[in-house]
Amino acid sequence: MLPRPSFRQLLLAAFMLVALLLGGVALRGQLALEALLDKARDDAGRTLALNGHAERLDELALAMERAARQFLVLGDSTLRQRFRRSADDAEIHLRALAEAGVAPDAAADWRGQRRAVERLLADGPDPSRDAAVVQAFGEIVELQARLTERLRAQTEARNRALQGEIEALRLALGRQWAGAGVLGLVLALGLAVGLARPLRRVEQAIVALGENRLEDRIEIPGPSDVRQIGRRLDWLRLRLAGQDADKARFLRHVSHELKTPLAALREGVALLQDGVAGPLSADQREVSRILADNTAALQRRIEDLLSFNATAFAAERLVRRPVALAPLLHELVSEQQLQWRAKGLQVRVGGDEATADVDAALLRTALANL
């Protein structure tokens, strides 16, 4: 059986899970962003190259027109060769644009106009054909304008697609961050609930120990370290129960030892009051009465001592009732006349009548001790 994890281990595992989740989202976002940046750089380079082809095609078209018109007037074969070289160079750039999908129909029309001009030049120089050449190159200029427009539209479409991908990535990352946050919150709530229940059990166990309720075994479920706290509290319960048992035994022993001489004392006082040892004077009868009252009080103290262990932690068992304080004080002073006389003291109780809602027996004990 696998050992039960501790709360610290669970907390560490939860933090690591959230960290891995957030790190995975961040890494995925970084990789996706780098991919988009690479694509943007590729698109930018492609657009730049296509624009370069389009600009070069415009330049070559002007060179072709200039060479063709000069050939028709001058009839110089060098001009015709210059036209062909420019046309061949233009074909390279035109093919690059067509392969990139930039208006292939316009490229085909452009080639048709080129062939038309070549046919005009094939019959040799003739200034009368200049108007036809000008018209053909006018068509080529329109075709190049269409190529440029298609190139611009294609570039804008790629930009919009790239922006759409960026927006989709932003939304996806937002959802993933939100999901990670919700998962972290769920883990935090789970840990809080999982810890709150054992903590309530710990609090209840401590309250039970404070109220001296030591009968029930303390066992707290949960992670291993929380269970260890429960075992420590149960060990403390056993220690307290043992100490209470020792205290109870001590009180019973002391009370038993006190009862034996007290019984002899009470019997002696009773014999004196009965006149067994001879008649008593008035003062002697007063002294014997005081002795009898104090032995009875001592008997009550011993009985209270026996019940102390059961009532020490039970304040709710107090018997509260209105008690007149002055008669209680007079009675206590009367019981302790021997001590006052031995010290040469006189004690008088005075003051207004007062009543308190107290346990008379316990208050009597406290005042007698004073």
pLDDT tens digit string along 219-251? 877 777 777 888 888 888 888 888 877 777 777
Distance, in Å, from the CA atom of 123 to the CA atom of 204, rounded to the nearest integer, reads 114
pTM of the model: 0.47
Q: How far is CA 329 from CA 62, 336, 341, in A?
A: 132, 11, 17
pLDDT(312) > 80: no
Q: How confident is the model at residue 111 (pLDDT cuts 50, 70, 90)?
A: confident
Summarize the confidence of residues 320-332 as an average pLDDT.
83
Q: List the end-to-end C-alpha distance of the chain, in Å, as a whole number.
A: 64
Stated length of the chain? 370
Kindly state the helix (H) or strand (E) to which residue 233 belongs, with its residue range.
helix 224-273
Closest CA to 337 of 293, 282, 303: 293
pLDDT(170) > 70: yes
pLDDT(93) > 80: yes
Summarize the confidence of residues 319-335 as an average pLDDT.
82
323 forms bridges with which residues in the sheet? 356
- 226, 7 contact by CB (below 8 A): yes
What percentage of the chain exceeds 70 in pLDDT? 88
Closest CA to 62 of 94, 90, 91, 88: 90
Please state, rounded to an integer, the average pLDDT across all residues of the chain: 78
Summarize the confidence of residues 99-122 as an average pLDDT.
81
Summarize the confidence of residues 14-27 as an average pLDDT.
76
pLDDT(308) > 60: no
Predicted confidence at residue 250, as pLDDT, reads 75
Predicted confidence at residue 338, as pLDDT, reads 67
Distance, in Å, from the CA atom of 139 to the CA atom of 132, rounded to the nearest integer, reads 11
Helix (H, G, I), strand (E, B) or coil at 322: strand
Summarize the confidence of residues 14-39 as an average pLDDT.
78
The more confidently predicted of residues 255 and 16 is: 16
The more confidently predicted of residues 254 and 147 is: 147
Q: What is the largest CA-CA distance in the chain?
A: 180
Closest CA to 151 of 28, 246, 58, 277: 58
Q: How confident is the model at residue 314 (pLDDT cuts 50, 70, 90)?
A: very low
Name the amino acid, one letter, at 201.
R
Q: How confident is the model at residue 127 (pLDDT cuts 50, 70, 90)?
A: confident
Predicted confidence at residue 313, as pLDDT, reads 45
CB atoms within 10 A of CB 232: 12
Residue where the block lists tokens 């233009």: 90
pLDDT(1) > 60: no
Summarize the confidence of residues 312-330 as an average pLDDT.
71
Q: How confident is the model at residue 305 (pLDDT cuts 50, 70, 90)?
A: low
